[in-house]
Amino acid sequence: MGLDVLNLRTHIIVGVGAASFIAVSLGCDLDCYLASTLIAMIHHPIIDYVSHDRGRRTALFHSIPGLYSLALVTSLPFLFVIPLSEFVVVFASSMASCLSHWVLDLLTFGGVYIRRRRVSLRLFKYDDPSANLSFQVLGLLLFLYSLASLTF
């Protein structure tokens, strides 16, 4: 499949940062925050390993409807263990994590799918060390900000 470990690491760090930022911004408690962060870590290997065919991205999870489905499916188990109001936050942060993957892939040569067409901004190669490091720092900053903002 040829997936680059640095790229997957970048997706996970940015996804966790985005999910935790949204969770804290929407006022979730510690349980909700932990659920959001856990789900965000799970998304990116699923997106990259399930939604590739012979090294190329497919529309399965590289499109908005596919990501919405993934966010919903990965959030649903928490519906039975947390209040509905917190489930909405978990789903929103789950969607933010998925969308972060989509945006990062939109910036690369591989692109994403919009209305069944592959679209790419072609700004970076997926294995560009400078771009990956920059996005990892951004994801880490979002995560640290949300951690500092979390109220117990």
Angle of CA points 145, 69, 71, to nearest 5°: 20
Q: What is the model's pTM?
A: 0.90
9-64: pLDDT as tens digits: 999 999 999 999 999 999 988 889 999 999 999 999 988 888 777 777 777 888 89
Q: What token pair was written down for 100?
A: 């972060």
User: Residue 13 and residue 20: Cα distance in Å, rounded?
Assistant: 11
pLDDT, position 93: 97
d(C-alpha 127, C-alpha 135), whole Å: 12
Q: Is the pLDDT of residue 3 over 60?
A: no
- Where do the structural domains in the chain lie, given as residue ranges? 5-149
Query: Which bin fits 102, alpha (ψ -120 to 50), beta or left (φ > 0)?
Result: alpha
* DSSP classification of residue 70: H
Instruction: Dump pLDDT digits (tens) for 53-111.
Output: 777 777 788 889 999 999 999 999 999 988 899 999 999 999 999 999 999 999 988 88
For tokens 């408690």, the residue is 29
